[in-house]
């Protein structure tokens, strides 16, 4: 055998091995893909409970790019969120599924939501009950948001070591002026609106009289709405929660610290049972799962794939009402889900305008506002949608304030909940300067410029009077344009809108009274209104979202079949959640950093409630 023939034979052998390994790799990938796709629609027992167990925050739109979010979940990173529409779609489908006679509501890992988002889920629970099926809720710590949902159940079971803790609503901003003064940081504020309190955390050491007035007004409206929803669901006297909260500090010590019995005597819960006892109650209703030893169940996170497949089949060939979610801060450019990008959201609206199958649009707004430029970009695209003859209906969630109201202004109809926080029609700009800070360590700035404006926008120099006059004129003009857009959309005069604007925040019920909102109702009501305007009787409501590539869809399918946490353990995740909860100064500084970009105006509502 020659050397040449030896190497030729070796090459052929290696090439054959390469082909075999390539084929094996393709077969493995194919098996993974088939396994992932098979898991797309779960197997449902002949009789089982639908297990609804929201984790983290209940949101209108999941935060972050889908694939990045999936990878974070696999590594155990990120902040836990549950998508509202996954739960509502599951519950609506289960209401007519004969295999699902019971819904089990487990609230142990639920961290909260706005009252409006809670009400949407509560509506789905009530519809499930209206179909003649039972809802059973159980938990150990029924905090205010958890109890809102638990109260919608036929049976509410509280652990013997648990409690129902209702505190009402409050708003206690963190004020940074004292610290900023000590650091020598000047916060130069330009605003319009007597009630535009967004800048006050940086300019005051306490709440202004105007902010106190409006905050008390909308907080009372939220608390009244909460009490009405819970007492109605539990068939309690209208003052039951007032009595319970008012006597809580005395009634629990009088009961020897047994808060569960206090809640039972107040008829807030059906019974006091441990988790095992509650599971036994569910086993009586749907049977025992031999594998787990608990009750037979299918999780909402699995069942939603079945619900969506059924929904898609029913929607085939029907005209569509497109739903676009605008959730989070409004920022310039392309932004991931969970924030509202000027360009990315405008692109979705344009897609709906150009899609001949989309006959009307519902814009679901859950935003306290942000960039005026991005809001204007979205506003203009909504005007183009309207000019194309497609009805536009806005459905307001927890927040639709400042920039969130700006983008709602062109709507044919605006729907809100009594607990929506909206309005806050005002504009501001913040320009921090640190020349005094530098002076504290002996640093000074001096020099010359070619014009009166030269160097006036440097962060290390005081703002000049010329630039101050320019910025204030821009703010005033921005406010005038904001008011004009609202007046046009609401068919009112500028004077009428200015009287209810001035940066004031309104609860949905009050916003309806003053004309900022057309109707009080749910998301479903808004979709029906859009369909009526488009003269549709048989239609499908469809969320319009950025298209995912085949590879991205595969990653998400694989995420559902195998979740592996290999970076952050549960202790690390718990510590990060604790840090977020108890770090108000960091939150306020982060907000300041978002609203201090050069040459930007902002319409934002710092109206967060807890």
Of residues 503 and 601, the one with the higher pLDDT is 503
Q: Has residue 25 got a pLDDT over 70?
A: no
Phi, psi of 43 (to 5 degrees): -80, 130
Residue 108 belongs to domain spanning: 49-181+205-303
**pLDDT confidence tier of residue 605, bands split at 50, 70 and 90:** confident
State the pLDDT at residue 569. Answer: 38
Average pLDDT value for the chain: 86
Cα–Cα distance for residue pair 592/587, rounded to 1 Å: 9
Q: With respect to residue 528, please indicate whether it lies within any of the assigned structural domains.
A: no
So what's the pLDDT on residue 281? 96
Specify burial of residue 294 (Cβ count, 10 A radius: 0-12, 13-18, 19+).
Answer: middle
**What is the DSSP code string of 89-116?**
HHHHHHHT-TT--EEEEE-TTEEE--HH
Query: What is the tens place of the pLDDT at every residue in 248-257?
Result: 999 999 999 9
Residue 142 lies in a domain: yes
Of 377, 288, 397, the C-alpha closest to 600 is: 377
- Report pLDDT for 36: 46
Whether 38 maps to a domain, the answer reads no
Hey, which residues does 312 pair with through a beta bridge? Answer: none
- Answer yes or no: is 271 within a domain: yes
Supply the pLDDT for residue 595: 53
**pLDDT per position as a tens digit, 355-409:** 999 999 999 999 999 998 999 999 999 999 999 999 999 999 999 999 999 999 9
Q: Which of 481, 409, 427, 356 is nearest to 603 (CA)?
A: 427
Six-digit token string for 465: 């009077």
In percent, how much of the chain has pLDDT > 90?
Answer: 66
Give the residue-averaged pLDDT of 49-59.
Answer: 96
Q: Say which of 133, 196, 273, 528 is annotated catalytic.
A: 196
Place 609 in a pLDDT band, splitting at 50, 70 and 90.
confident
pLDDT more than 70, % of the chain? 81
pLDDT above 60 (res 15): yes
- Adjacent-strand bridge partners of 83: 59
pLDDT band at 573 (very low <50, low <70, confident <90, very high): very low
Crossing angle between the packed helical segments 3-38 and 550-561, to the nearest 10 degrees? 70
Rounded Cα distance, 587 and 302, in Å: 35
**Pairing verdict, β 369-371 and 602-604:** antiparallel
177 part of a folded domain: yes
Q: Which of 145-149, 437-441, 580-584, 593-597 has the lowest mean pLDDT?
A: 580-584
Contact call for residues 271 and 164 (beta carbons, < 8 A): no
pLDDT band for position 66 (50/70/90)? low
Task: Output helix, strand, coil percentages for the chain, rounded to the nearest 5.
Answer: 50, 20, 35
Residue 58 near residue 121 (C-beta atoms within 8 A)? yes
- Please choose, from the candidates 477, 454, 473, 476, the residue with its C-alpha nearest in 3D space to the C-alpha of residue 464: 454
Domain count, the chain: 1
267 is catalytic: no
Residue 34 clears pLDDT 60, i.e. is over it: no
Tokens (6 digits) for 215: 């905050």
Q: Is residue 116 part of a domain?
A: yes
**Domain at 253, CATH number:** 3.90.226.10
- pLDDT at position 23, please? 58
Measured CA to CA, the distance from residue 275 to residue 530 in angstroms comes to 44
On the question of pLDDT at 26 being above 70, the answer is no
Q: Residue 587 has what pLDDT?
A: 53
**Can you give the pTM of this predicted structure?**
0.84
- Taking alpha carbons only, the member of 609, 596, 608 closest to residue 190 is 596
591 vs 423: CA distance, rounded Å = 20
Displacement of CA 493 from its chain's centroid (Å) = 33
* Average pLDDT score over residue span 55-79: 73
Q: Is the pLDDT of residue 555 over 60?
A: no
pLDDT digits (tens, 9 = 90+) for 163-191: 999 999 999 999 999 999 999 999 888 88
Strand 421-423 and strand 505-507: the pairing is: antiparallel
Angle, helices 342-354/372-387, rounded to nearest 10 degrees: 0
* 195 domain residue, yes or no: no
pLDDT, average across residues 76-95? 88
Q: Is 295 inside any structural domain?
A: yes
Cβ contacts of 535 within 8 Å, gap of 6 or more: none
pLDDT of 80 over the 90 cut = no
Q: Which of 395, 402, 424, 509 is catalytic?
A: 402
Asked whether the predicted pLDDT for residue 577 surpasses 60, the reply is: no
CA distance 24 to 63: 37
Based on the residue annotation, tell me whether 371 is a catalytic residue of this protein.
no
């Amino acid at each position: 055998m020659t050397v040449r023939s030896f190497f030729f034979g070796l090459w052929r052998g290696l090439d054959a091995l390469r082909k075999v390994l390539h084929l094996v790799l393709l077969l493995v990938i194919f098996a993974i893909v088939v396994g992932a796709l098979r898991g797309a629609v779960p197997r449902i027992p002949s009789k089982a409970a639908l297990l609804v167990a929201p984790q983290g925050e209940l949101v209108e739109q999941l935060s972050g790019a889908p694939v990045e979010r999936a990878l974070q979940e696999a590594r155990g990173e990120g902040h836990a969120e549950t998508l509202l529409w996954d739960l509502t779609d599951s519950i609506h489908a289960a209401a007519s599924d004969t295999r699902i006679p019971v819904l089990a509501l487990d609230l142990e890992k639920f961290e909260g939501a706005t009252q409006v988002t809670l009400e949407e889920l509560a509506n789905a629970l009530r519809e499930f009950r209206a179909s003649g099926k039972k809802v059973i809720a159980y938990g150990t710590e029924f905090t205010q948001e958890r109890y809102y949902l638990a109260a919608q159940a036929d049976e509410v079971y509280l652990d013997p070591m648990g409690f129902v803790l209702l505190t009402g609503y409050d708003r206690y901003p963190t004020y940074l002026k004292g610290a900023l003064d000590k650091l020598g940081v000047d916060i130069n504020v330009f605003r319009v609106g007597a009630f535009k309190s967004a800048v006050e955390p940086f300019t005051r050491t306490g709440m202004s009289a105007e902010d106190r007035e409006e905050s008390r007004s909308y907080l009372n409206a939220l608390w009244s709405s909460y009490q009405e929803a819970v007492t109605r669901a539990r068939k309690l006297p209208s003052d039951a929660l007032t009595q319970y909260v008012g006597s809580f500090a005395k009634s629990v010590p009088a009961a020897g610290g047994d808060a569960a019995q206090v809640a039972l005597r107040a008829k807030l819960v059906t019974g006091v049972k441990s988790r095992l006892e509650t599971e036994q109650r569910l086993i009586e209703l749907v049977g025992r799962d031999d594998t787990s030893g608990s009750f037979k169940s299918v999780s909402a996170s699995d069942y939603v794939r079945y619900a969506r497949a059924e929904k898609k089949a029913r929607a085939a060939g029907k005209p569509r009402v497109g739903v676009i979610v605008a959730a989070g801060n409004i920022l310039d450019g392309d932004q991931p889900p969970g924030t509202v990008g000027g360009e990315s959201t405008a692109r979705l609206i344009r897609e709906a305008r150009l899609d001949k199958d989309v006959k009307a649009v519902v814009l679901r707004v859950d935003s306290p506002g942000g960039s005026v430029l991005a809001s204007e970009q979205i506003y203009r695209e909504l005007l183009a949608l309207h000019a194309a003859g497609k009805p536009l209906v806005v459905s307001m969630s927890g927040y639709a304030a400042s920039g969130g109201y700006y983008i709602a202004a062109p709507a044919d109809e605006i729907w809100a909940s009594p607990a929506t926080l909206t309005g806050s029609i005002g504009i501001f700009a913040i320009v921090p300067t640190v020349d005094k800070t530098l002076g504290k360590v002996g640093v000074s700035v001096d020099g010359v410029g070619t014009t009166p404006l030269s160097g006036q926008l440097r962060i290390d120099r005081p703002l000049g009077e010329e630039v101050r006059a320019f910025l204030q004129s821009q703010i005033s003009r921005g406010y005038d344009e904001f008011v004009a857009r609202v007046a046009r959309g609401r068919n009112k005069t500028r004077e009428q809108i200015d009287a209810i604007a001035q940066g004031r925040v309104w609860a949905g019920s009050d916003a309806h009274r003053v004309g900022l909102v057309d109707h009080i109702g749910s998301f479903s009501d808004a979709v029906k209104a859009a369909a009526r305007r488009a003269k549709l009787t048989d239609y499908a409501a469809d969320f319009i979202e950025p298209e995912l590539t085949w590879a991205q869809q595969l990653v998400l399918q694989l995420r559902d079949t195998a979740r592996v946490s290999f970076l952050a353990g549960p202790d690390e995740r718990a510590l990060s959640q604790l840090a977020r909860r108890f770090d108000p100064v960091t939150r306020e500084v982060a907000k300041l950093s978002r609203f201090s970009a050069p040459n930007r105006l902002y319409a934002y509502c710092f109206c967060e409630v807890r």
